Amino acid sequence: MIVRGRVDDVSKRYGRHVALAKVTVKVGEREILGIIGPNGAGKTTLLRILLGLIRPTSGTAKLFGLDPLVDGIRALDGVAGFVEGPRFYSYLSGRKNLELLADYDGDGARSRIEGVLELVELRDRAKDRVGGYSHGMRQRLGIAASLLRQPRLLLLDEPTTGLDPAGMRDMRDLVRRLAGEGITILLSSHLLNEVEELCNRVAIIRKGSIVYEGPLQELLATAATGYRLRATDPERARVVLLSQQGVDGVSLGEGQLRFTADEEAVTRAAIALGQARIGITALIPETANLEELFLVLTGGESSDHDRAAVA
């Protein structure tokens, strides 16, 4: 895996408070890495360290192999995005804001303004003052500003927060399109269904420590598959299931049975039910989702995003 950004063994202390404790996370080429964790877990601190906005107490953070605290602006070449929301001059138009940012970036950035406005569907509102933009429009303008730099690594902190369902759908479609164009994306979100829908890797933080970092599908595969069973004689079916090796967590409620098992155990159980002349009217697999695994890994803590102020 070609690594775009990484933090290695990073810790951050504020007096006695430990914000991060020996955290190691990496994001590779063409990946969408989701960073999730309970309120105050350290997600924003991690992003700020990666961008060189704050200095870690120990450990290193690198972008494309360069340390922002050592190599300065060179480490941020090819990196764009925003932490805790983009900021603009509200009394200027969207286009004027982009023109100012393009002048800072140089390298032909002005020539890309129309293209990025079209991409984020703001071309028709580009002449309007940003102060009159909705929250979703400002979020999209923030991505447009980031794309002026032609980034290879894009950091997005809660990009869909405050958007209505249609706006959330459009933002997620945009993130997919950008990833499809080869941009590596590091996405911090408190919306677990969003992370599950968009990301191929996840990093879960709890109390400043990483409790899981790796492919999302590998995490989902760690959970036992659950089943819901409806049968012609639920009580007898329950007795049969309890006698089957490899069938666990059998419970009966509201006329249906629930249990966990692997495929071989389910096959044996179905055969046993047939031999007992118990009809199966429905057998429905229920795989674990990210939210359920998140609650297990974080001890049931909330996934609300930590809102520490950005220096």
87-125: pLDDT as tens digits: 899 999 999 999 999 988 777 889 999 999 998 889 999
Domains identified in the chain, total number: 2
User: Does any domain span residue 309?
Assistant: no
Closest CA to 212 of 197, 198, 195: 195
User: Structural domain of residue 160, as residue ranges?
Assistant: 3-220
- Specify the pLDDT at position 262: 85
Interior angle at CA 260, CA 193 and CA 224, nearest 5: 50
Mean pLDDT of the chain: 87
Residue 206 is encoded by which pair of tokens?
A: 């709890």
Q: Which of 150-154, 155-159, 184-188 has the lowest mean pLDDT?
A: 155-159
Q: Are residues 185 and 244 in the same domain?
A: no
Domain-terminating residue out of 200, 220, 240: 220
Q: Say if residues 190 and 301 touch (Cβ distance below 8 Å).
A: no
Owner of token pair 């047939």:
274
Residue 70 falls inside a structural domain: yes
Cα angle 59-304-122, degrees, rounded to a multiple of 5: 95
For 269-283, the three-class secondary structure string (H helix, E strand, C coil) is: HHHHHHHCCCCEEEE
The answer to whether residues 256 and 248 touch, using CB atoms and an 8 Å cutoff, is no
What phi and psi, each to the nearest 5 degrees, are found at residue 107? 50, 40
How far apart, in whole angstroms, are the C-alpha atoms of residue 95 and residue 87? 14
Residue 1: what pLDDT?
A: 55
Q: Exposure string (b/e) for 131-168, b if CB count within 10 Å is 16 or more?
A: eebeebbbbbbbbbbbbbbebbbbbbbbbbbebeeebb
Pick the more confident residue, 256 or 39.
Answer: 256
300 pLDDT above the threshold of 70:
no
- Kindly state whether residues 167 and 35 are assigned to the same domain: yes
In a domain, 305, yes or no: no
Residues 6+ apart with CB under 8 A from 120: 140, 141, 143, 144, 147, 174
Give per-residue pLDDT as tens, 212-257: 998 988 888 777 678 999 999 999 999 999 999 999 999 999 889 9
Residue 206, pLDDT > 90, answer no
Please report, for the domain that includes residue 277, its CATH number.
3.30.70.100
Is the pLDDT reported for residue 135 higher than 90?
A: no
What's the average model confidence in pLDDT over 265-290? Answer: 90
| Statement to judge: residues 163 and 267 lie in one domain | no
Integer Cα distance of 221 and 214 in angstroms: 12
In a domain? residue 311: no
| pLDDT score for 308 | 36
What is the band of 139 on the pLDDT scale with cuts at 50, 70, 90? Answer: confident
The burial class, CB within 10 Å (0-12 / 13-18 / 19+), for 187 is buried
